Homo-oligomer: A and B are copies of this chain.
Amino acid sequence: MGDQEVKLLGLWASPFSKRAEIALKMKGISYEFVAQDLSNKSPELLKYNPVHKKVPVLLHNGKPICESVVIIEYIDETWKSGPSILPEDPYARSLARFWAKFIDDKCLPAIWKVRKSEEGEREKAIEEATEHLVTLETELKGKKFFGGDEIGLVDITANFIALWLVVVQELVGIKLVTREKFPRLCEWIDDYLNNSVIKETLPTQEELVNRFRAK
């Protein structure tokens, strides 16, 4: 598969874009990263993701795949090199899809709301985010990663929690996730960020804080 063209239209500071990059790197796929400017969308982005006009877009031999979780499943089904990102067993796969969806539908909007909320609404936003994080804390009991012994779909989807959440905490000046309240989630963050592929792919906390402060 050496003559295949793999391009990723992405953004270095986007957790969604980074999901696609992590999946490609886990599989050992070479790809060209084409940085996008969302304040001035490229003809390529508008052509290949006309519905949402958002990153990431994976281009595989010219064919576009959009939506980060859809991209991860595509990568896992297309390249059999490297570790499996979703488990083989249909029941285990359904659980992985369930939790990935939970993170996207519940955790991310709640955490984002903490950042965007005005003083008066912040307490409610924190309460909601905490409730979802407690659910994840429970899910991690007895496991190293959400995927079990190895990083899988849910861990990649949760990269927002491993890094961007910490950035949100710093920007807003609060501490949602403490070792006291969330011992498993904190261990997971450590293990996740220490993984060689993740370390190589994600930006540093400082880079992200600077980027979001500048906006």
Q: Say yes or no: A93 contacts B74, CB within 8 Å.
A: yes
Q: Say yes or no: B90 contacts A74, CB within 8 Å.
A: yes
Q: Please give the count of copies of this chain that the complex contains.
A: 2
Q: Say yes or no: A70 contacts B94, CB within 8 Å.
A: yes
* Chain A interface, >50% SS class: helix
Tell me the minimal C-beta distance from A138 to chain B in angstroms.
Answer: 9
Interface residues of A in 47-96 (CB under 8 A from B): 51, 60, 63, 65-67, 70-71, 73-74, 77-78, 90-91, 93-94
Alpha-carbon separation in the docked complex, A65 to B98 (Å): 8
Interface size on A, as a range, is 20 to 34
Tell me the minimal C-beta distance from A61 to chain B in angstroms.
Answer: 10
Q: Given the complex, which residues of B lie within 8 Å of A135, measured CB to CB?
A: 51
Q: Say yes or no: A90 contacts B77, CB within 8 Å.
A: yes
Q: Is A122 an interface residue (CB 8 A)?
A: no
Of chain B, the residue at the smallest CB distance from A71 is B94
Q: Is A97 an interface residue (CB 8 A)?
A: yes
Q: Is A12 an interface residue (CB 8 A)?
A: no
Alpha-carbon separation in the docked complex, A74 to B91 (Å): 7
Q: Is A101 an interface residue (CB 8 A)?
A: yes
Of chain B, the residue at the smallest CB distance from A90 is B77
Q: Given the complex, which residues of B lie within 8 Å of A101, measured CB to CB?
A: 67, 70
